[in-house]
Structure 1
Amino acid sequence: MENAKISKFLIIYQDLNTEDTFTAEQVTDATNAHVEHLKDLDSKGILFLCGPLLGREDKAMLILNAKSYEEAESYVLRDPFIVRKGYNTYLIHEIQEANSANNYLLMHYTNM
């Protein structure tokens, strides 16, 4: 069986839910569950990078390794911050990594 190519996907969590009233206990529980979800993704080599966007308390991001948009979205849909409506929406974009191995995509841009 042929191995599927692994791509990187940038996920932006946005529209922090400020409409609903969450208790301190609910926020703590959701945050702990979210961190456990991240640890699980990390242990499987799926999580590449994650964190809040500084200066934008209503947004956070993840970069995930996945075979498809659908696979990346399946991880998002299991995140307690999404399941428990901590964030109202998310965006997913496949990204192409520019690095020394591909000369920072120089050939891509010089052959246009």
Structure 2
Amino acid sequence: MKKLASILVLAALFSCSKKDWTGAKSVTNYLIRVVAVDNDGVESFTSISRVKSGKVVVEFETSEAVNVKEYKVEASSDGSHFTSIKTIAADIKLPDKIYRDTLELQ
């Protein structure tokens, strides 16, 4: 069974706006967080920033990460209930590494 780390690696709140079929804009606020799976070390991080409507760049840096299997990127529109939107495999050969991924939110 996977042990989910209790350490919150990274979190940011931002808004995405989309147009519906009538051309009206709707805005959804998202909280994005990254948690380490099977984590024995403390992670440092940089930032999450929105690139353009519906897309975000998730970027974080690890420092002396030990026994981390993967990082789960999760999103929430209410700040309480999170859904996994991406799994990023940890690079066990490089404990000090910058991870970067562009995600599209639904």
TM-score, with structure 2 as normaliser? 0.29
Structure number having the greater strand percentage: 2
Structure number having the greater helix percentage: 1
Higher relative contact order (CA 8 A, sep 6+): 1
TM-score, with structure 1 as normaliser? 0.28
